[in-house]
Structure 1
Amino acid sequence: MSKIDRELALEALSALTGTTLKPYFGLKGSMNSDPELDIYNFITAAILGQEVLRLLGARSYGQSPLQSVGKEMFVNMDEFFEPRFDCDFTHLSDKSVCMRGNERYKRPCGWYRIALKVLDKYPDGNTWLGTDGWRSHSVAGEWPVSYHGTTVEGATGIVKSHYKAGPRQLYGRGIYSTYDIDQASGYSREFTSQKNGKRYRVIMQNRINPKMRKVCGRPDYWLIEIPEGTSAVKEKEIVEKSIRPYGILIKEV
């Protein structure tokens, strides 16, 4: 697959969030800056679900990557995507064993990764990402890699609405993901590009905090527990500390 242009990347993001998003490159007008909002707030909103995404969008202005103008939502492409870290795995068939965060890293062969701009966006720094470039070994402090599809209902234990906690999980209430890209790909969201008419699958690539995740009875599922009755604010806090998307994986069907 040739390098993904950012319009297609935005279509993939729209498919994941269930919200139509449009690009802007610094809208001018009467919008005021809200310095408390940052890229990781938006990512967390996407994780927690469409309702939180809309709530965040309704009060996001100025330097935030997300803008709301009336009923339309816009993403600052320069502040959200990080093309220098994109990676084309579409023709990769490498079966070598790699490790991330002392867990197996199953590379997303057959997919293209659209990188999100997450460097320096979390208050605890960048150690969770590890070091740049190809390597087979783990480095100190990095988190394991997990994948998350967005269309599976409760019977399999993966939540339906992004990473929003739901009541019908197999091993407990919370956020489910897997290190197995093949498992996750079966739960990917599909969309048809308005730009080129082609059909794609899309899933999230994340890092998951090894101190926060629970290995389920089925070992290829990892759970971030969110107890029943957790407030929206606390849920957002748990997510930010536990599981962080850093790439969108896209594959032509």
Structure 2
Amino acid sequence: MPNPGVCLEALEALTGFRVESSGGPSQLSPQDFVNIVALKEFYKQEGLKQLDYPSLGSLSLQDPQEDADLYSAPPALTEGPGPEQNRIITVRINPEDFFDPSYDYDFTSVKDGNKAFLRGNELYVRPCGWNRAAIRVVQRYGDGDGWLGTGETAWPVSYHGHAMDGSHGIILTHGGGHGDQPEFLDAAAASLVHSETRGRGVYSTPDISVAEKFCRKFTSKVDGKTYKVLLQNRINPQNRKKCQREGVWLVYIPDGTSDLQTRIMVQNSIRPYGLLLKQA
């Protein structure tokens, strides 16, 4: 497993929280982390200033890294406006409960070339060049572990990077929209992106090279090295929309969806299983 201290720093870079090691129960589950990372980006798309999350309260969506040196350690996300802005949210994680070293895989020196891999009958672009710290998710979901396998019932693999939003994809819906989903332009007519053609929701990608363009970077206080970090997920194929731009997937969230419904849609659609690290 990559250095556990570096892994906790990677979680800090993704969320903006201060993440500390604990011998007790983890304060947040792996699913909470992917929910927070995804919802943070989504609500920023919507122009909101804060995200309310159970057990954590109101989280500021201001991103201190936007104007900062990407190679410096990220300032922690703050809670609330005014005098509370200097409060740092600390989350305690038990590495033994959060990570699952038996499923770690070091892709640092792996080159797949023309080899093809499938997950859920869809192409799996393995994260060659990255080191994966596996997240403990086996037997953590009520519907079993089929989503995590390699067969037909497995969910496809996606990668979540920073700042992938509606400007990066147009939903493909040949023949028009249905229900509460608006109509979107066909691919041939989608050269210009307008607000009415963008998919409203949470974006990810099956292509590790695309995700790398939107990854977080941080300089470790543990070993002094600079790393890139991504989340490796599985995405529910029934809840995913493909976009006009190749290599972009969307979990579509209809307008008018409540905060609770939005969180449920995300956690029913995207499940994390790996924390990816790569020296920058």
TM over 0.5: yes
Partner of 2:159: 147
Match of 1:56 in 2: 55
Match of 1:26 in 2: 24
TM-score relative to the length of structure 2: 0.70
Question: Structure 1 residue aligned with 2:101, among 71, 83, 103?
Answer: 83
Partner of 2:212: 185
Deviation digits for residues 185-233 of structure 1 (CA, Å, limit 9, x no counterpart): 1111100001111100011111011111111112311111011221111
Match of 2:191 in 1: none
Preserved CA contact (<8 Å) 1:40 1:122: no
CA distance in 1, matches of 2:207, 2:30: 27
Consecutive unaligned residues of structure 2, counting only runs of 5 or more, are 42-49, 58-87, 171-193
CA contact (8 A) 1:155 1:170 kept: no
Kindly provide the CA deviation profile for residues 117-167 of structure 1, in whole angstroms up to 9, marking residues without a partner as x. Answer: 11111221111000xxxxxxx413100001111134553249xxxxxxxx9
| Structure 1 residue matching 2:209: 3-state secondary structure | helix
- The separation in 2 between residues aligned to 1:106 and 1:190, in whole angstroms, is 22
Q: 2:138 aligns with which of 119, 122, 128?
A: 119
Question: For the residues of structure 1 that align with 2:155 and 2:241, how far apart are their CA atoms?
Answer: 14
- TM-score, with length taken from structure 1: 0.77
Verify the 8 A CA contact 1:89 1:109 in the aligned structure 2. Answer: yes
Cα distance in 2 for partners of 1:116, 1:177 equals: 18
CA distance in 2, matches of 1:57, 1:71: 8
Corresponding residue number in structure 2 for 1:66: none
Contact in 1 for aligned 2:107/2:128 (Cα 8 Å) = yes
Partners of 2:134 and 2:245 in 1: how far apart? Answer: 29
Per the alignment, in what secondary structure is the counterpart of residue 260 of structure 2? helix
| Offset of residue 168 of structure 1 | 6.5
Do residues 104 (structure 1) and 103 (structure 2) align?
A: no
Q: RMSD value over aligned CA atoms?
A: 2.9
Bigger Cα displacement from structure 2, 200-209 vs 213-222: 213-222
Matched pairs, number: 220
Specify the structure having the higher radius of gyration (Cα).
Answer: 2
Does the 8 Å CA contact 1:157/1:169 hold for their aligned counterparts?
no
Aligned to 2:173: none
For 1:9, the equivalent position in structure 2 comes to 7
Query: What SS does the corresponding residue of 2:55 show, helix, strand or coil?
Result: helix
Shift of 1:240: 1.6
Aligned sequence identity (%): 43
CA contact (8 A) 2:169 2:198 kept: yes
Q: Which runs of 5+ in 1 are unaligned?
A: 28-32, 59-69, 131-137, 159-166
**Aligned residue in 2 for 1:44:** 35
In structure 1, what is the Cα distance between the partners aligned to 2:40 and 2:24?
Answer: 25
Q: Residues 212, 179 of structure 1: CA spacing in aligned structure 2 closer, same or farther, 3 A cutoff?
A: same
* Corresponding position of 1:92: 110
* Aligned: 1:247 with 2:274: yes
SS at match of 1:230: coil
Tell me: CA distance 1:5–1:195, structure 2 relative to 1, closer, same or farther (3 Å): same
Contact 1:157 1:171 in 2 (8 A): yes
Q: Distance in 1 between matches of 2:249 and 2:100?
A: 27
